[in-house]
Amino acid sequence: KAKSQGKNDYMIFSPEMYINESENLLLENDLRQAINRDELFLVYQGQVDARTGNIVGVEALIRWHHPEKGLLSPATFIPLAEKTGLIFPLGDWVIRTACEQHQEWLKAGLPPIKVSVNLSAQQFLKQDLVQTTANVIRQSGIDPQYLEFEITESMTMDYSYAENVIKELKNLGVGVSMDDFGTGYSSLYYLKRFKIDAIKIDKTFIDDLCRENDDATIVQTMIVMAENLGLRVIAEGVEDRGQLDYLMELGCYFIQGYYFMKPLSGNKFMEEYTNIVEEVLSKR
Ligand code: C2E
Ligand code: MG
Ligand code: MG
Ligand code: MG
């Protein structure tokens, strides 16, 4: 097993690693069954237009209610899902569930709300993504303009492949945004050529926006660039009033973060919709 890790040919096993390996094996078995056992669920975090207070979209974020370990965040199991191939059934489930939730909200009388779904690299690179997405759109009945995928810069290393997939997704009517923008490698030239809809400025740049000149400069540059390329800009991880004010001064109005709204279950979001909207409005 040490050998299979590639460049680390001379790695020595420590007791901790054995524990981690066997724990991972157990977790892998659990994850295999989690979908069928209804242990996975999505929570939804609003993306707010700070000018109007409107919730313009939500990002779907996966959670796992593990029978013994309790609530697990994606950081603990998405890497495992990617390593084992479980990301494919899991990823399909996320796309389907997000679309069905959108439809359920509509039926409950909520306005149509765009739902953003995170893709993993393997999903993006798998041949059947576009077909799967087309099937889910047809079966759920979602108007595709309300579905958006979030990809990351590292997924687009193979430019022509990425360009083609994005084009096919856009042909379906689905939006594509660049998540965690600024943390990976990216060519501005391809950012334009890909015809993506939006960039999401990573939380790491937002955290110290009001304290660090460098971060403020980087964020300002991203906003100006996005504007010139005709891309929507969303700031991620906005936690306080100071960050919000600063972003609005720089011309970034699409805000996602705990300041406006923490991720909520689909039902909670539906039941509390009116209150949530009022709270967002009052914080603006
Ligand atoms: P991401 O796509 O960049 O999602 C944003 C993360 O930031 C979420 O963490 C969200 O809860 C958190 N966040 C949002 N606003 C704030 C804030 O104001 N303060 C702080 N401290 N955090 C904030 P989460 O839900 O733990 O997800 C982590 C990552 O896991 C996501 O990062 C995404 O890369 C991945 N992920 C989540 N759901 C899925 C999924 O369904 N499929 C795949 N492939 N990956 C997913
Ligand atoms: Mg995301
Ligand atoms: Mg992000
Ligand atoms: Mg991410």
Nearest to 195 by CA among 237, 254, 249, 151: 151
Contact by Cβ (8 Å): 252, 237: no
Integer Cα distance of 195 and 225 in angstroms: 14
Q: What is the pLDDT of residue 10?
A: 55
Range with the lowest mean pLDDT among 14-23, 155-164, 219-228? 14-23
List pLDDT tens digits, range 198-236. Answer: 999 999 999 999 999 999 999 999 999 999 999 999 999
Give the pLDDT confidence of 60-69 residue by residue, as tens digits. 999 999 999 9
Q: Closest Cα partner for 276 from 55, 69, 88, 56?
A: 55
- What is the distance in A from the centroid of ligand 4 to the CA of 19? 27
d(CA 76, CA 91): 16
Span 163-171, average pLDDT: 97
The answer to whether the CB of 78 is under 6 A from ligand 1 is yes
Residue of the CA atom closest to atom 33 of ligand 1 = 118
pLDDT of residue 19: 59
57 lines ligand 1 (CB under 6 A): no
Task: Produce one character per residue of 89-103: b if its CB has 16 or more CB atoms within 10 Å, e if not.
Answer: ebbbebbbbbbbbbe
Query: By CB neighbour count within 10 A (0-12 exposed, 13-18 middle, 19+ buried), where does 248 fall?
Result: middle
Q: Is 94 near ligand 1, meaning CB less than 6 Å away?
A: yes
Any ligand 1 atom below 6 A from CB of 136: no
* Among the bound ligands, the one closest to the CA of 202: 3
Average model confidence (pLDDT) across the chain: 92
Look at ligand 1, atom 12, and give the residue with the nearest C-alpha.
237
- The tens digit of pLDDT for each residue in 57-96 reads 999 999 999 999 999 999 999 999 999 999 999 999 999 9
> What is the CB neighbour count within 10 angstroms for residue 58?
26
Distance, CA 2 to ligand 2 centroid (Å)? 32
Residue 1 has pLDDT above 50, yes or no: no
List all residues 6 or more positions away from 193 whose beta carbon is below 8 Å from its beta carbon: 159, 163
Mean pLDDT score, 93-107: 98
- State residue 192's pLDDT score: 82
Least confident interval from 22-26, 67-71, 125-129, 237-241: 22-26
Q: Residue 205's pLDDT is what? A: 96
pLDDT band (50, 70, 90) for residue 5: very low
Angstrom distance (rounded) from CA 21 to CA 27: 10
Q: Whose CA is nearest to atom 19 of ligand 1?
A: 237
Atom of ligand 1 minimally distant from the CA of 256: 15
* Token pair in block for residue 110: 């909520």
pLDDT score for 25: 81
Residue 3, pLDDT > 50, answer: no
Q: Using a pLDDT cut of 90, give the percent of the chain over it.
A: 84
Cβ–ligand 1 distance for 46 under 6 Å, the answer no
List the beta bridge partners of residue 59. 45, 116
Q: pLDDT grade, residue 6 (50/70/90)?
A: very low
pLDDT tens profile 259-276 = 999 999 999 999 999 999
Cα distances from 101 to residues 49, 92, 138, 176, in angstroms, run 22, 14, 14, 19
106 C-alpha to ligand 2 centroid (Å): 23
- Tell me: pLDDT of 14 over 80: no
- pTM of the complete model: 0.93
- Tell me the C-alpha distance between 284 and 268, whole Å: 22
What is the predicted pLDDT for the residue at 16?
Answer: 56
How far, in Å, from the CA of 150 to the mean position of ligand 4? 9
**Protein residue closest via CA to atom 42 of ligand 1:** 118
Residues of the chain with pLDDT > 70, as a percent, come to 93
> Does ligand 1 lie within 6 Å of residue 180's CB atom?
yes
Please tell me if the CB atom of residue 76 comes closer than 6 angstroms to any atom of ligand 1. Answer: no
Residue 26 has pLDDT above 90, yes or no: no
